[in-house]
Structures are given as structure tokens and as C-alpha cells.
Structure 1
């Protein structure tokens, strides 16, 4: 069954991401240990607090001038979880690639949301409007099916080995990608700084990458 929404989309405090400038750099991004070459994110209940194929009635349109939220046909609004903007921006600054791997049955709705939602760099009124989330992803695999297929295609498109991939997802069944060599961090309430810290720690331990390597942070 679909996860219940804890509050109406239009009032939930978890559906607007904070500007990247307000999120301290994740500690694991600034230590001397290696980092994955790519961070891959599920979408539903990982980057935003709903399933776009069951909780959203298209078409979507912007809900605010800054692009922090979108609204569906009934006026229900949603956006990214709080830490998403900062995590995406800081990861790109460290030279990591970003990917999306979603098995949603409404890929067109998911794509529309990613094209509309922006990643704010500073507080409202500070500098230009942030880039769209869509533009920050290096690879997107959004369609129904076994996520091992998604990762096979990510490997083919990026040329990266599975062992260089760290995946964040809210569904335990998708742990099957670890049979390929991918490290998956299971998240419960959306991706956060803390979840990324734990995920990077798991990736380092799983791959024996616990010592400093050549190059900046091993990336």
C-alpha cells in the first residue's frame, strides 16, 4: 500500500528544500578519504515525500516563483526534502556525478517535476535563481522494472564500475543491486546529510576504501 502522507502536501514542512548555502558541507565530503564517483538517488520517498504515480494528479506546474515547489491539478504542492539542494550542490563541487534510478510507473510526471523544481543556491533574493534539478543529473533512468537494469544502463552510460556507485533508496527490495557491486543505503524519511554520511561510510567499508588515496578525496 502507498505510504501515508503525514500532512497535506501543501503544508508539510518537509517538502521545501533549504538553500545549498545554508547547509554545512557534509563531513565526509571534506575529509581525506575516497568518495564514490557517482551518487544515485531513487525519487519517491528519497528526494520527495510521495509517490508521483499514486499521490499526484498531473499536469504539474510551478507553485512559486523560486521553483521550490510544484503543484498538481488539485493544487496540492510538494518539493524536495530539506537537505536535497545542499547535498546535490556539494556533491557536484566535489566532482561526483549524480544519477537517478526510479521504477515509477509515471516517468513523465517525475521528469516534469525534476524539470520544474530548482536547486536554490542562496537565500531568496540572493543571486540568480538556482538551476533545475534535471540539469544537475548526469544520468537518469526513470521507468518501471528491476533496478539492476537501471544500474546496468548507468554503468554503460557513465563507464563507471558498479563499485564506484552509492545508491540511496527507501525500498529494501532494491538492495538486490548490491549483487552487482553497487552499495545501497536504505533511507526511511528521505535523504539527509546524516544518511549520506552513513552511506559513504558503508561504501568505504564495503569496498575497503578506508585510507586516503591519490587525488582530491580520491574522486
Structure 2
């Protein structure tokens, strides 16, 4: 499936949802490409999973920012590969560095750089420990098995919508709970 066809399908998928994330964050290794950067050389030409480029273009066309959160010890290789693939300029934030914190540091930096709240972010990664840690921050997080694809995008947007709707319901419940009798204009009359 070509990039343009994937892009069109991704646009259709996004059209099914009333609420979309403001920022979509991607891990690199085994999420957008099928290898570990530290096992490769800058001289090589990298490849992406088949749906990645089309999905990235669709997100950009929809006005959704994209970022990278990667715990790679070889940020220079990752950066070179993003450049070779023509993707480097697409990302509003590229947090590529070694860390023992399961990407929580990466997301704190992304939040500081972009100002996007955690609950308005969608994240794709191939490691469950990262999914669990970042989910606790309030980010909708999706585990991918064979790279990001249209199915993962659909799953992510669906879960994002459910999570945001749940947050809104809880806010309304809390507001009702916290209202004191006699405090509304109606009760004062």
C-alpha cells in the first residue's frame, strides 16, 4: 500500500472521531522502523514500517503535531535516519536520549516544549513498560507489535476518545458533588 493510499485511509479513520489528540508521540525503534538504531550505521539507508509515512502525513494534514520519544543511546544515528527519510522537520519535539525512567523524562520535556497537556497526547511504543509508565502520566498509550499501522492508529484514536470522555464525565461528577446546596442562583431566590 502506497504512502498516499495510507494517508487517505488514515484521514478517513480520523474523520470518524469528534475529538482528536493535539499531539501524537512515536517511539522509534520497532515502532516506526524495524530495527534498533544502535545496531546500525549512519551510512545505511533506513526503512520504515509500511504505514508510517502515510500516517505521519495524514496527522500533519489534520493539523495534529507529532513528536518523538526514544530511549536510544545513539541519538546521532536516529537523527541522521530521520533526516535521510525526510521526516526530521515533521516533529515539533525530538526527545532522543538514554534514560532509566521509562520515557517519563522524555514526556516531561515534550510537555514543557509544546505546552500540550498529557491527556491531549497519544503515544505509540513497542515496549509495555513504557506504555505503563507513560499511561500513569495521563497520556493515552498504545502498544504496537509490528510497528505503527492503520489498525494501531484506529485503536489509539478510539482509546483516546474514550479516555477523554471519561475525564469529562468525572469532571462533571466532581463539579456536581462539590456544589453546595444554597450556592446556586436558583437556590438564592
Question: Residue in 2 aligned with 1:6?
Answer: none
Q: Which runs of 5+ in 1 are unaligned?
A: 1-17, 62-69, 71-77, 118-131, 212-219
**Greater RCO (CA < 8 Å, at least 6 residues apart):** 1
**RMSD over aligned Cα, in angstroms?**
1.8
Aligned position for 2:123: 167
TM-score, normalised with respect to structure 1: 0.71
SS at match of 2:68: strand
- Matching residue within 71, 83, 91 for 1:137: 91
TM-score computed with the length of structure 2 as normaliser: 0.81
CA displacement at 1:35 relative to structure 2: 0.4
C-alpha separation in 2, matches of 1:41 and 1:141: 10
Provide runs of 4+ in structure 1 moved above 6 Å. Answer: none
Mapping of residues 1-80 of structure 1, within 5 Å: 19-23=2-6, 24-26=8-10, 27-53=12-38, 55-56=39-40, 58-61=41-44, 70=45, 78-80=46-48
TM-superposed CA distance for 1:209, in Å, is: 7.0
Q: CA deviation at 1:28?
A: 2.9
Which entry has the higher C-alpha Rg, 1 or 2? Answer: 2
Which string of whole-angstrom CA distances, capped at 9 and with x for unpartnered residues, describes residues 145-193 of structure 1?
A: 1200000000000011000000000000002011111111000000000
1:185 match: secondary structure: strand
Secondary structure of the 2:163 match is helix
Unaligned 5+ residue runs, structure 2? 169-189
